[in-house]
Structure 1
Amino acid sequence: MTSMFRAVLGADFERLHPQLQRRFSVGLASGEACTGRGVMDRIWRGGAFVKPFLSLGTTRNILVPREGRNIPFKIENVPYLDTFGRETVTFVRTFDLPGRARRFDAQMVLSPKGDRILDYLGTHQHLASELHFHAEPDGSLLIRSGEHRFREGPVDVRVPELIGATAEVRESYDDRTGRFRIQVRVVNRHFGPLFGYQGSFEASYTDIRGRRLRAGLRPVREESRA
C-alpha cells in the first residue's frame, strides 16, 4: 500500500523535493500524521461582493472571510478510515485571526479509479472537488481543482461555472529556511480572484498507529458519492 498522493502522481512523485515527498507520504501505510505550524504572510479576498459568499462558507468551515497579515497558521494532515471504509487524510487549516480563529476544513480521498483526489469540503461535505496533482520541474507541487459538485440528500449537481471557482495551490520547500512555502488562489472565471493566502510553515510528524482521531478533525457528516 502507498499513499494516495504517490498513487495519483505515479513516477512523478520522485520529482518532488524530498521533504515534500515525506509530507505527502502521510497515510495509513506510513502510520504518520503531519502537522504544519507557521505564519501566513497575507490572507486576502476579492472585492466587497465576495464577502457575503465567504461569510456563508464560514458557517461550514469553508474559506475565510477576513483579511490579515502575519497570521499564525496550523494545518493538520491526519489519515483515518471514514464511515465507508475509505482511507481519508484531513486537511484542516486553522487561521488564528485577531478576535476569532477561523478554520478551512477538507478531507481528501482517492477516487475509485485512482487517477485523482476527491476533496470533500467543510463540516458537512456538501461540496466536493476533483484535485489534479502535478510535480513541477523545480521540485514543487502544483494542485489544481477540477469539477465541483454540491450534494445534499438526493441532490447531486455540478456547481455552475458562474458561481463556481478554481483553486490553485503551490507548495514548495525552502532549504535555506527549512520551511515549507505555500500559496493558494481561488478564482472565479467571471468575477476574478475570490480568496487566497500565502506564507510558510514548519512540519512535524507523529506516529498515529493505534491512536484515535482527535475530536474535531472528523466532519459532522460524511459523503459517500465519489
Structure 2
Amino acid sequence: MTSIFQRALGSDFDRLHPQLRRRFGFGSEDGIACVGTGVMERVWHGRGFTRPFLWLGAQRHILLPSRGSDVPFTIQNYPYRDSLGRETVTFVRTFVFDRPQRWDATMIYSPERGCVVDYLGTHQHVSVDLHMSVVDGALVIRSGEQRFHEGPLHFRIPSWVTGAAEVRESYDEKVGRFRIDVEVSNRRFGPLFGYSGTFTCTFPSVEGVPEEIRPVREQARV
C-alpha cells in the first residue's frame, strides 16, 4: 500500500536512498514495523532557561529535558489504523540516560492540509504540519504551523512561542547505518534542543501495534 510518506513526497519519494525508501515505504496493510536501535552521539539543550519548558513537555512525552553523549536510543515505527480510520505511524523514541526518557509522536497524512501532520505526546495535545523534501537521497523534514488541542480549545500557536524543528535522516553506506540530525529552535530564543547519531533497523513482522506505544488519546482535529 502507499505509505503516508509516499503520499507526502509524491514522485520525490523515488529519489530517497533505497534504505530510506524501505524505512518509510510501508503501511498498516503490509504487516511489518521498523525498529531502530543505535546511539545518539550527542543530545543537547539550549540555555538554562529552556530546561523548565523541556521538563514540562516531558511529562507528556513531548520534549527531552536531559542531555548527554553516547546515549542509547531506540525508535519504534508501527503503522496502524487509528480509531478514526486514519493511516497512522508511531514515532516512539526512547533515550536511555540515568533512566529511559521517551519522546512520542504519531503521524498521519492530511489531504486537507496537504502534508503529514505530527501529533506530539501521549495525549496528542499539539499537532504540527511537517513539510518534507529529498536532498541528495536524504529525507529533510521542516515543521510548520502548530496547533493546540484540549477539550473545546483549538487554536494556532503563535510562532514566537513555538520551536521550529529541522530533521535530516540519511543512510551512510560506509558504515551501513542510518544517520539522524534533529534541531529545534525558536526564532527569538535560539536553539532549544536536539540530537544526532546513528542507528540500524530491523523490520519485524507484526499484527497491530503494542498498546504501550499507542497514544493515550487520539485527536480528531488536525
TM-score class, shorter: over 0.9
Match runs of 1:65-144 below 5 Å: 65-98=65-98, 100-113=99-112, 115-136=114-135, 138-144=136-142
Cα distance in 2, alignment partners of residues 129 and 113 from structure 1: 14
Shift of 1:67: 0.7
SS of the residue aligned with 2:28?
coil
Q: Does 1:13 align with 2:13?
A: yes
Q: Does 1:168 align with 2:166?
A: yes
Which one of 208, 214, 220 corresponds to residue 210 of structure 2? 214
Aligned residues: 222
Cα distance in 2, alignment partners of residues 176 and 169 from structure 1: 21
Cα distance in 2, alignment partners of residues 52 and 193 from structure 1: 15
Identity of aligned residues (%): 55
What is the TM-score when the length of structure 2 is the normalising length? 0.98
Structure 2 gaps of 5+ residues are none
Cα distance in 1, alignment partners of residues 169 and 84 from structure 2: 30
What is the TM-score when the length of structure 1 is the normalising length? 0.96
Compare the two structures and name the one with the higher helix fraction: 2
SS of the residue aligned with 1:105?
strand
CA RMSD across the alignment: 1.0
Instruction: Please tell me whether the aligned partners of residues 164 and 188 of structure 1 are also in contact (alpha carbons under 8 angstroms).
Output: yes
Q: Which residue of 2 aligns with 1:26?
A: 26
Cα distance in 1, alignment partners of residues 209 and 28 from structure 2: 12
Structure 1 gaps of 5+ residues are none
Amino acid at match of 1:203: C
Instruction: Please tell me whether the aligned partners of residues 2 and 26 of structure 2 are also in contact (alpha carbons under 8 angstroms).
Output: no
What's the CA shift string for 1:134-186, capped at 9, x where partnerless? 011x2111000000000000101111122111100000000111100000000
Match runs of 1:145-156 below 5 Å: 145-156=143-154
Shift of 1:63: 1.2
Shift of 1:114: 7.1
Shift of 1:212: 3.4
Q: Which residue of 2 aligns with 1:223?
A: 219
